[in-house]
A and B are shown apart, each in its own frame.
Chain A
Amino acid sequence: MNKELLTGNQAIVKGALASGAQMMTGYPITPTTEILENWAEEAAKNSNLNFLQTEDEMSAGFSMIGGVLAGLKTFSATAGPGNVLMQDALVMAESMRLPTVVFINQRGGPSTGTVIYSQQELNLTCFGGNGEGLRIVYSVGNPQEMYDYAIKAFNTAWRYRFPAFVLGDGYSAKTLTEVETYSLEERKIERVSSAPYLLGEDNSSGSVNLRNTYNLETELNTLLMKHKMAFDGFTSEIVEFDDYQTLGAEIVIVAHGNIAISAKCAIDILKSEDEKVGLFRPITLNPFPSETLRSVVQKKKLIVVIESSLGQFERMVKENLYGENIPMVAIKKPALGINPDEIVERVKDFLKEMNG
């Protein structure tokens, strides 16, 4: 165990290395470029690591898939418009059940937006492409989590063979702070192995011909139902959340990523003033911890959804609470950070209104 001063982007590279990543492909885009640069530096020092700077994010996505097919734990990183382009490759991975890991550090959108911060790539990351969103998305909120979930994402992707994402943001990516780094061995975390999909050791059953094109609707339907069943089958094994001080709370804040961290600080302030406020934070946005959220909000007086986007997260929360009859309000600030004191103030307003 070791405490180092790292940015989120640096922590991602360290985490990827710790979890056994072997190859990265990518195209520079703020605020993820340092991941590419840091990996390039690592690869320059270690000939066992592969690195390719591609001509665009489509190429980054597909050359990543090439690396995966050859049996290497390959990953990429992108943001904003780059995330849009990379979906081309990511739906192929989803369709063919290929493990991939992509780090998304959200920037302001739509379009070029800002290079700074937002939570606006939630829809795109969870459901992007012309598919059903059979992918695993971890929403992280600070450099430490970027390290922890980098490790986790590789294991999850290669164990369950669906694309995995670590959804961060520009603030977390750029923040320089103390991060506890560790090896998988010292934490007794298993390292899921990878094997080639093509030119593997075992060719006893003839050649492997992989495709994502189908002739008839029924063929594709059968395949998708099989994928969905597999996905639902392991959902309970991977779904993650943070339930903070909701026991006895009247108000439950629901937030994810960086905003959930801010909300946690706000709750500590509110608690010290004896306000009954808790936080439910989904860590996996996909699959979503719907059952837990549903049980947490039972008999609460108010749900407060907080997000740095204009309802993308609120829609997700509503969908997962369908049928519950609990008042819900939302604080929505697209492309903007939301500080703890602001949350404290807004929640106090809600409490005042609620308690007359």
Chain B
Amino acid sequence: MPAKIIIAGEGGQGVQTIAKILTKAAKKSGKNVSYLPSFGVEQRGGVSLAYIQVSSRPIPYPRFSKADFVVTLSSRSCETIKNFISDNSLVIYDSAEIYEKDINELKAEIKRFVAVPAKNIASEKLSTKVANIIILGVLSAQLKDISFQDFQDTVLMELAAKIKIKPELKELNNSALQMGAEFAQNYESSDHLTGKSPDETVRSFENDKVKWTRFPEYCKGCSLCILSCPVKAITFAKDLNFLGTPMPIVDMEKCIGCGKCMQICPDGAINVEKK
């Protein structure tokens, strides 16, 4: 069965990575395949789109209007994918990344869906960086024309250079793919579009001299604040910024309120105030 797949997310979430793996796996399974990346001017951030078609017949044109599989990894890309959804589309989305209110904006359009809390599965069991591979695993379970072995092989092939530097990536990605596939197999459909609840991130931290505030809506997790701190009071926390990468947190027992972290922050995401 020919399949039209659209994958959307933030630049940097790995949309194009899983699109490329899917494309190469399809080729490996002897299918015709077409993959068109589409994104704006930013290197990071901004909505990133991938148009993929898998078929046993030639695929002359790379774009399409409605997709059989609509995959979305971020809240912001929900608006973008709206037009691709038909009554027959299966929508696959990261319910740990996308806010419940955002996915419910598409309630009228979405008839069939898989809500996979990829971000949570990844951070609890593996690493936040493989959430996209979990999604790919879910997708692999739907694409019967491509063998799972081909998916597995292609993941390792695509990431070979990175695995060479960090051997543990091999197991991480392999597990992520399997977990995604298993999740899809055991998935019980429901009527309720679940999603992330509004953030309740702690923003401000204080000691008797200083109030230290972080802004998750601006923080990009670059770690310049951590490096600039002369007393090593800042580390990465478990909680995430708007890009879904770890945010800094401060140890107020150490903080001297020098403001170096604030000055170096390119995003205006830290405010240090002396009392």
Contact = CB atoms under 8 A, between A and B. Distances in A.
- The reply, when asked whether chain A contacts chain B directly with Cβ atoms under 8 A, is yes
Interface of A: 213-217
Contacts of A214: 40
Contact of B46 (A213, A215, A217): A215
Nearest to A214: B40
Interface string B37-67: 0101100001100000000000000000000
Given A214-B40, A215-B41, A215-B46, 4 more contacts: A215-B47, A216-B38, A216-B40, A217-B38
B219 to A, nearest CB: 23
Chain B interface helix/strand/loop/mixed: loop
Contacts of A217: 38
Contacts of B40: 214-216
A71 B173 CA distance: 58
A137 B1 CA distance: 54
Interface of B: 38, 40-41, 46-47
B176 to A, nearest CB: 30
10 contacts: A213-B41, A214-B40, A215-B40, A215-B41, A215-B46, A215-B47, A216-B38, A216-B40, A216-B47, A217-B38
A216 B40 CA distance: 6
Contacts of A215: 40-41, 46-47
Nearest to B42: A215
- Tell me which of B38, B40, B46, B47 has the highest count of chain A C-beta atoms within 10 A of its own C-beta: B40
A222 to B, nearest CB: 14
A215 to B, nearest CB: 3
Contacts of A216: 38, 40, 47
Contacts of B46: 215
A217 to B, nearest CB: 8
Contacts of B38: 216-217
A16 B205 CA distance: 66
A214 B46 CA distance: 12
A217 B46 CA distance: 14
B156 to A, nearest CB: 34
A354 B40 CA distance: 60
Nearest to A217: B38
A214 B41 CA distance: 8
Q: Which 5 pairs between the two chains have the least Cβ-Cβ distance? A: A215-B40, A215-B46, A213-B41, A215-B41, A216-B40
Nearest to B83: A218
B50 to A, nearest CB: 14
Contacts of B47: 215-216
B83 to A, nearest CB: 9
Nearest to A215: B40
A216 B46 CA distance: 10
A213 B46 CA distance: 14
A216 B49 CA distance: 10
A217 B51 CA distance: 14
A231 B40 CA distance: 28
